[in-house]
Amino acid sequence: MTEFATRVEDVSISGIREVFEAAGEDAINLGIGQPDFPTPDHVRQAAIEAIESGQVDAYTSNKGISQLREAIATKYDRDYGIEVDPEHTMATSGGSEALHLALEAHVDPGQEVIFPDPGFVSYDALTRFAGGTPKPLSLREDLTLDPAAVEEAITDETAAFIVNSPSNPTGAVQSEADMREFARIADEHDVLCISDEVYEHIVFEGEHHSPLKFAETDNVIVVSACSKTYSMTGWRLGWLVGSGDRIDRMVRIHQYAQACASAPAQFAAEAALTGPQDPVDEMVAAFEERRDVVVDGLVDAGLEVPTPSGAFYAMPKVPDGWCEEVLDRGVVVVPGDAFGANGAGYARLSYATSMEDLKDALEIMDDATSAVR
Ligand SMILES: Cc1ncc(COP(=O)(O)O)c(C=O)c1O
């Protein structure tokens, strides 16, 4: 039999799956990384109309339909006052493909990629697939990424650093001052800043800021998606924003690996970006209410947890054996070390689940905490 390539042998399946598989059928699942709301109706209708009118039977342009690229560009001006040329955008199969393209197109074998630890599981794996060397960086006490630490970690071998705000798994949101610093570092050190903004609209305190706004060179690339904002994880639609040259290089890979993002999803995404945004506001309000209940419940249980300002995750510090105890009692949480070595001693809880389940889970977690202390 043909041997498997080293680059896949070196990467294992995400630890999150293992937890799901260990859980019983009746378990309350706080391990899930997707909103528990339906995709807004007008978005579904746009896809249905595109299908019925025969607009999705053929490949689209590699970079995506022009209406969607216009909608992406307009969104940055509307939301953040950032002028983006539609030519500097491309549609991808989710934020996941966008991250993959950004790394494949910019990282040479042996080059280093700096990213937060704990951080989203794909950063390490996709860096390895690109032949790069992962450089996980520990976080501040409040679980944000420190620009000074990033700057210190940069070497001649550094190709890129990844910033993710709001963050999976911590829910932390980087300040405007941090984002300005990330842009300055990308400019001054001539390294790429990949800003993963898939949770950009799920912010409870303060605002989302993109380093794209502050960069003076073309060294910032933005990755985002419809997945979390519009509860569209199954549609597989994301995008990239970057200079014409960078988009040109990334589309070379996309052209051969994907041809184009799914056409029905592109029409749906255009409707999501240009249509009413109230479903997003309603979802964010529900997440905020749950966030407060979860944080209060964890603090009452005697756990230390920085209050997450965004996304739909909380990351408390937990005693040894806590995750196993909680799982035995029927609540699925993800052990922090699934997100990097520095995640050890933490757990990631997703509150993208009903308030009723959250309240039951908090009681169970309270009992489990007393049992392991
Ligand atoms: C931080 C982060 N980036 C990117 C992604 C990928 O998003 P998508 O579902 O659009 O591929 C996720 C999904 O969980 C995520 O949490």
pLDDT higher than 90, residue 358: yes
Residue ranges of alpha helices (H) inside 109-146 are 122-129
Residue 224 Cα to ligand 1 middle (Å)? 8
The pTM of the full predicted model, rounded to 2 decimals, is 0.97
pLDDT higher than 90, residue 16: no
Is the distance from CB of 27 to CB of 331 less than 8 angstroms?
Answer: yes
* Terminal Cα distance for the chain, rounded: 51
Q: How far apart are CA 55 and CA 53, in angstroms?
A: 6
pLDDT digits (tens, 9 = 90+) for 238-258: 999 999 999 999 999 999 999
Higher pLDDT, 339 or 13: 339
Residue 198 Cα to ligand 1 middle (Å)? 6
Q: Mean per-residue pLDDT for 323-352?
A: 96
Residue 152 Cα to ligand 1 middle (Å)? 27
Examine domains 6-39+278-372 and 41-274 and report if their fold is the same: no
Is the distance from CB of 287 to CB of 138 less than 8 angstroms?
Answer: no
Burial of 180 by CB count in 10 Å (0-12 exposed, 13-18 middle, 19+ buried)? middle
How far, in whole angstroms, is CA 363 from its chain's centroid? Answer: 29
Closest-lying ligand 1 atom to the alpha carbon of residue 97? 11
Closest-lying ligand 1 atom to the alpha carbon of residue 233? 9
Q: How far apart are CA 331 and CA 23, in angstroms?
A: 8
Closest-lying ligand 1 atom to the alpha carbon of residue 227? 10
Closest-lying ligand 1 atom to the alpha carbon of residue 226? 10
- Which of the four CATH numbers 3.30.1300.10, 3.40.640.10, 3.50.50.60, 1.10.3720.10 does domain 41-274 have? 3.40.640.10
pLDDT digits (tens, 9 = 90+) for 261-309: 999 999 999 999 999 999 999 999 999 999 999 999 999 999 999 999 9
Mean pLDDT of the chain: 96
Dihedrals phi, psi of 66, to nearest 5 degrees: -65, -35
Q: Mean per-residue pLDDT for 167-186?
A: 98
Ligand 1 atom 4, closest CA? 95
Could you tell me the two tokens for 367?
């009992």
Residue 280 Cα to ligand 1 middle (Å)? 17
- Listed residue (180, 172, 189, 165) closest to 211, CA to CA: 180
Is the distance from CB of 96 to CB of 108 less than 8 angstroms?
Answer: no
Strand partners, 313: 350
Q: Mean per-residue pLDDT for 2-6?
A: 90
Burial of 312 by CB count in 10 Å (0-12 exposed, 13-18 middle, 19+ buried)? buried
pLDDT at 19: 72
Residue 126's contacts (CB-CB under 8 Å, 6 or more residues apart) are 99, 100, 103
pLDDT higher than 90, residue 25: no
DSSP for 292-320, written as a single string:
HHHHHHHHHTT-B-PPP-BTTEE--B--T
Closest-lying ligand 1 atom to the alpha carbon of residue 120? 1
Q: Are strands 158-164 and 112-117 parallel, antiparallel or unpaired?
A: parallel
E-only strand ranges, the chain: 28-29, 89-92, 112-117, 133-138, 158-164, 192-196, 220-225, 238-241, 313-314, 331-332, 334-335, 347-350
Gyration radius of the chain's alpha carbons: 20
Ligand 1 cavity residues, CB under 6 Å: 33, 94-96, 120, 164, 168, 196, 198, 225, 227, 233, 238
pLDDT at 15: 66
The percent of residues in the chain predicted with pLDDT above 90, rounded, is: 93
Q: How far apart are CA 67 and CA 64, in angstroms?
A: 8
Q: What homologous superfamily does CATH list for 6-39+278-372? A: Aspartate Aminotransferase, domain 1 (3.90.1150.10)
pLDDT digits (tens, 9 = 90+) for 33-75: 999 999 999 999 999 999 999 999 999 999 999 999 999 999 9
Is the distance from CB of 270 to CB of 68 less than 8 angstroms?
Answer: yes
Identify residue 214 by its one-letter amino acid code.
F
Identify residue 310 by its one-letter amino acid code.
G
Residue 171 Cα to ligand 1 middle (Å)? 13
Residue 301 Cα to ligand 1 middle (Å)? 30
Q: How far apart are CA 34 and CA 20, in angstroms?
A: 14
Q: Where are the domains of the chain?
A: 6-39+278-372, 41-274
Q: Mean per-residue pLDDT for 125-142?
A: 97
Could you tell me the two tokens for 117?
């630890």
